[in-house]
Amino acid sequence: MTLLDAVQANLLSPAVLFFALGVFAAVVRSDLRFPEPLYAGLTIYLLVAIGFKGGVALAEAGLARVWLPALAAMALGALIPFWTYPVLRRVGRLAAVDAAAIAAHYGSVSAVTFIAATNYLQAVGQPYESYASAFLAVMESPAILVGVVLGRLASPRAAGVAPSPGGDASLRAVVHEALCGRSVLLLVGSLVVGVLCGPAGMAKVEPFFVTPFQGVLALFLLEMGLVAGRRLGDLRKVGAFLLAFGMLVPLVNGALGVWVGQATGLGLGGATLLGVLAASASYIAAPAAIRVSLPDANPTLYLTASLAITFPFNLTLGIPYCHALARWLYA
């Protein structure tokens, strides 16, 4: 399959088409709206299903096969802000607090992009390590913590932090949010449950966590399309630099992720997934933590970059790109 065929197959997948439908609905100003409880319920379902299935696969694979690529994935997520931050500061000329906030989003990961990548690999017949969702769980938080530290070291006043007990309390709050926020807690917690239950536990809940999964994902991406479509107008505010940043950085990070995957012994499919995770940007865990820790950071910048630029880019082109790169590297 050529890269063009892979892109076409990805664009015609239900997940991507429902996302496009949501964007269209927002552009034409449809009155389509998802109730907040429904959106929260879809999010919880997807995170628990991903974590639980990954935990079951982890129990089957054994820790000996997983610890090295998982540790490398965690280190990769933590290191990405260290190179994206200076690019945002020096090339983009963004304020320190905004550069740190965006860097944190790009070091963290997108669960939905990961799901779309697994769907893509299944569609093209590419096997992958079923325990790869463990990488998703360990990459959520490190970059958020690094981004917050960068923002506070560079601009403590802008971050609203002074060397006082109140500042210490605020730092504890962001660490708590990064490690115990909804998405991280559900991913890691359900991963542990999956490890403890194993395949026998999966057999009991498979009709709920496996069969409806694609339908729930389609609904979630319809909502994500609505949200992204409403932010298309913000592209005029973020400028050409952030538009280019949101599309070029996933290419670089994706290549790094694929290379790290190969270096740590993953197969072609697993390296593709690690590349996709490295290329993705968080829009669930990171915004919640950044809102607490860097309140002066401009949400228009980091949400538009991650959700309105990088997420659609990865959903359509980034995933086939990582797979093509992995195929070339493994060949």
Q: How far apart are CA 162 and CA 193, in angstroms?
A: 40
Q: How far apart are CA 245 and CA 254, in angstroms?
A: 14
Mean pLDDT to the nearest integer, 156-175? 53
Q: How far apart are CA 185 and CA 267, in angstroms?
A: 28
Most confident of 36-45, 171-180, 322-331: 322-331
**What is the residue extent of each domain of the chain?**
34-330
Distance (Å) of CA 253 to CA 54, 99, 189, 241:
23, 17, 27, 17
Architecture per CATH, domain 34-330, reads as Up-down Bundle (1.20)
Write the single-letter amino acid at 267: G
Report whether pLDDT(242) > 60: yes
What pLDDT score was predicted for residue 15? 84
Tell me, letter by letter, the H, E, C secondary structure of 35-89.
CHHHHHHHHHHHHHHHHHHHHHHHHHHCHHHHHHHHHHHHHHHHHHHHHHHHHHH
pLDDT classification of 169: cutoffs 50, 70, 90 = low
What pLDDT score was predicted for residue 285? 78
Note the pLDDT tens digit of each residue in 101-152: 999 999 999 989 999 999 999 989 999 998 998 898 888 888 888 988 888 7
What pLDDT score was predicted for residue 219? 93
Structure tokens at 51: 């974590």
Mean pLDDT to the nearest integer, 212-228? 90
Note the pLDDT tens digit of each residue in 259-282: 999 999 999 999 999 999 999 999
pLDDT classification of 168: cutoffs 50, 70, 90 = low
The DSSP symbol for 131 reads G
What pLDDT score was predicted for residue 159? 41
Write the single-letter amino acid at 62: G
For the chain, give the mean pLDDT. Answer: 87
